Amino acid sequence: MIPFGKPQVDSKTTDLVSEVINSGLLVHGKYTALFEKKFAERVGSKHAIAVSSCTAGLHLSLFVNNISNGDYVALPAMTHVATAHVVELQNATPIFVDVDINTGNISIKELEKVSKKYPLKAIIPVHYLGLPCEMKEINDLAKLHNALVIEDCALALDGQYDNKKAGNLGHLGSFSFYPVKHLTSIEGGMVTTNNDKFANLIKKTRAFGYNKELGQRSRPGIYDVDLLGFNYRMNEVEAAVGLTQLEKLDNMQLKRKNNFESLSKNIQDINSLKTFPSVYNNSKSSHYCFNIVVKKEANFSRDELQDFLKDNGIGTSIHYPSSVPLFSYYSSKYGYKKGDFPNSDYFGNNTISLPIAPHVKVEDINYISEKLHQFVSSK
């Protein structure tokens, strides 16, 4: 079996985790601070603030900017539901935008249209599968409307736009360290920003709105609370796992890139499958996974192909199983229907994500390519 994802955990990680657990200091410690410092260096942002998940980071980014009831937030219709849920949690209104058929990223043409209809308070571009969005156009549009840009970088660690890294391309960015992501901290996330005010507010609101962090308190246990806040902290065990992952990230990223490029080359002759680019205009992908989309003219369905791959020991995933507006919560609340976001619906119904993470070997890539050829020629 070739699983879709497999965290690369070794004895360095387990040794450090035991050390942290035995130290007795499980939150508020030096590993979270060190992980933040090293992550900011990697992304090239002034600040990195560790949080409990990417969702928490996106939520805090909206929260500290008071985006709430009556505000409109634009986001792609094809994304993980977390991107939309954080808008709902703030009682703001999500304005879904269809995606570009070439990249799966938010369509600039469609975004321009909605920006004329709604006074947007924020835009959340999602770097689909790790390929950065067309950020110049998005930032220009945001400036025009005085809107905030929050990058959803869940799948975009080390993705680049104009030689700048994702997480450094808008006002704020949020990353995910869920187990099968580029880098894991078990669960976890990181907010990046170059804005001191946002960084300070996020640090406070991730921890109840305390005015002083543990190390800043003159008397133990004494603090004031001058803000509303959450418990969205990362713990020391998670930070230690993340740190050991950062040390080997270059090597892991190279494997993903090589796997992506080999698979792309091996299956380029299969006309019934659409693939996604590694490089597109000014963007370079982070190669999170390798998506194929069953073309309309194909004489087989996505589910048939996914079953075949499973029967042959190839694990897959789907990014994502539906456009967000067609999930029951959103369609019943807002009345969306099939066809409102045609490209997003098309990806939701026809795409499969293939494994290319560091556990996937060259011979696995050859095996996956061979099985795809075998399947399409049997049809």
Q: Name the site residues for ligand PLP (rule: CB under 6 A).
A: 53-55, 79-80, 82-83, 126, 152, 154-155, 176, 178, 189
Give exposure, 292-308, as e/b (b: 16+ Cβ within 10 Å).
Answer: bbbeeebeeebeebbeb
In three-state secondary structure terms, 290 is: strand
Whether the link from the prior residue into 330 is cis, omega within 30° of 0, is no
Which of 188, 358 has the CB closer to ligand PLP? 188
What are the residues whose beta carbons fall under 8 Å from the beta carbon of 361, sequence distance 6 or more?
none
Minimum Å distance from CB 50 to ligand PLP?
12
What region does 261 belong to: left with phi over 0, alpha with psi -120 to 50, or beta? Answer: alpha
Q: What are phi and psi of 277, to 5 degrees?
A: -75, 155
Minimum Å distance from CB 183 to ligand PLP?
12
Considering only the C-alpha atoms of the chain, give the largest distance between any 2 of them, rounded to a whole number of Å. Answer: 73
Minimum Å distance from CB 291 to ligand PLP?
12
With beta carbons less than 8 A apart as the criterion, state whether 253 and 226 touch: no
Which of 2, 324 has the CB closer to ligand PLP? 324
Which of 12, 80 has the CB closer to ligand PLP? 80
**What span, in angstroms and rounded, lies between the C-alpha atoms of 271 and 276?**
14
Which of 80, 373 has the CB closer to ligand PLP? 80
In the chain, the amino acid numbered 325 is P
Which of 39, 178 has the CB closer to ligand PLP? 178
Minimum Å distance from CB 369 to ligand PLP?
26
With beta carbons less than 8 A apart as the criterion, state whether 89 and 140 touch: no
Which of 149, 372 has the CB closer to ligand PLP? 149
Which of 128, 375 has the CB closer to ligand PLP? 128
Which one-letter DSSP state was computed for residue 128?
G
Which of 272, 317 has the CB closer to ligand PLP? 317
Minimum Å distance from CB 347 to ligand PLP?
13
Minimum Å distance from CB 311 to ligand PLP?
26
Minimum Å distance from CB 148 to ligand PLP?
17
Which of 13, 176 has the CB closer to ligand PLP? 176
Minimum Å distance from CB 38 to ligand PLP?
19
192 sits in which H/E element: strand 189-193
Minimum Å distance from CB 81 to ligand PLP?
8
- In order, the DSSP letters of 83-95 are HHHHHHHTT-EEE
Minimum Å distance from CB 284 to ligand PLP?
18
With beta carbons less than 8 A apart as the criterion, state whether 115 and 128 touch: no
Which of 192, 272 has the CB closer to ligand PLP? 192
Alpha helices in the chain (DSSP H): 11-23, 30-43, 54-63, 81-89, 108-117, 135-145, 196-205, 236-247, 249-266, 302-311, 328-334, 342-350, 362-377
Q: Work out the angle at residue 108's Cα, subtended by the Cα atoms of residues 45 and 57, and round it to the nearest 5 degrees.
A: 35
With beta carbons less than 8 A apart as the criterion, state whether 72 and 93 touch: yes
